[in-house]
Amino acid sequence: MDFTEILYKIFIKDGGWLTILNGLWVTVQISALSLFLGTLLGSLLCFFRVGKFTPLKVIAQIYISIIRGSPVLMLLMLLFYGVFARTGMAPIVVAVITFSMHTAAHVAELLRASLMALDKGQVEAARTLGFSKWQAFQLVTLPQLAKIARPVYQSTVVNLIQWTSVVGYVTITDLTRVINNIASRTMQPMITITGGMIIYLALSYLVYGAFHLTERRRAQ
């Protein structure tokens, strides 16, 4: 059997490529939803974490340290097979909840780190010049925050996509599961897994590309 024939058998034959695309779509869906919800929740957490109200601050602190300090697969298994087991919730919903929770903790920390890197004096100066609290945040803090947080945020997004590769444990067929299934069926694990890696890599570069584009637009 020559190499192209093996490739054809693994990736194309009998609609195999469609199955791979379906798996990819599941991965993209979970990643995109979790990113959106995780970013919202993470911003809120960061707001609590740097705020002045102590109980919320402590809660945010505990949440962040627990979630950041434990593997996301454990959290996923715990939620799906434990907490939500009786609710009959769709596995993909549980996955989105899990990854949103996980991403939120990371986003909260990256935002806090970026806030700490800012010069406090600028906000004070703006306030002295008569800006309201909100105006000072919107016009002075936010633009600088976005600039500092961007590179770390970008790698959080790429990490998130890779973390989702464990959803096979909660009965979801994502890209990784599809690749593993194909490897088992065709008995060609090396080539199949290399193919899967290339797809993940392409996805990551799409994310890098998107960030690069928005950066260029901002620069103009």
Partner 1 sequence: MKKIFVLLMILTLALMTGCGGSNDGDKKTSNDAGKIKLGMITRLNASEESFGKFMEEVEKTLNVKIASHKPIFFDSLNAMEAALQAGQIDEISTYRSVARYMIAKDPRFNVLKDHSLEFIDSFCFALRQDDTELKDSLNTVIKEMQSDGTLDRLTKEYITDINAENDPPAVEIPTIDGAQTIKVAVTGDLPPLDFVSADGKPAGFNTAVLAEIGKRLNRNIELVQVESGARAAALTSKQVDVVFWAIVPVSEIIPQDSDKPDGIALTEPYYKDEEKK
| Residues lying near partner 1 in the complex (CB under 8 A) | 13-16, 18-19, 22-23, 77, 80-82, 85-86, 168-171, 173, 177-178, 180-190, 193
CB nearer to partner 1: pick between 22 and 61:
22
Closer of 32 and 89 to partner 1 (Cβ): 89
The long-range contacts involving 62-71, CB below 8 angstroms and separated by at least 24 positions, are 63/105, 64/105, 64/108, 64/109, 67/101, 67/102, 67/104, 67/105, 68/105, 68/106, 68/109
Which residue's CB is nearer to partner 1, number 6 or number 145? Answer: 6
Smallest separation (angstroms) from partner 1 to the CB of 16: 4
Q: Which is nearer to partner 1, 147 or 185 (CB)?
A: 185
For residue 81, the minimal CB distance to partner 1 (Å) is 4
In the complex, the smallest distance separating the C-beta of residue 170 from partner 1, rounded to whole angstroms, is 7
End-to-end CA distance of the chain: 54
**Rg of the chain over all Cα atoms, to the nearest angstrom:** 21
Smaller CB separation from partner 1, 144 or 180: 180
Q: Taking the complex as a whole, how short is the minimal distance between the CB of residue 15 and partner 1, in angstroms?
A: 5
**Calpha distance 21→9 (Å, rounded):** 16
Of 198, 126, 142, 165, the closest CA to residue 28 belongs to 165
- CB 129: neighbour CB atoms within 10 A? 9
Residues in the chain: 220
Q: Where are the alpha helices (DSSP H) in 69-119?
A: 72-78, 91-117
Distance CA 8, CA 186 (A): 11
Minimal distance, residue 128 CB to partner 1, in Å: 58
Task: Give Cα separations from 50 to 63, 64, 94 (angstroms).
Answer: 14, 13, 29
- Nearest approach in angstroms of CB 97 to partner 1 is 16
Nearer to partner 1, 69 or 82 (CB): 82
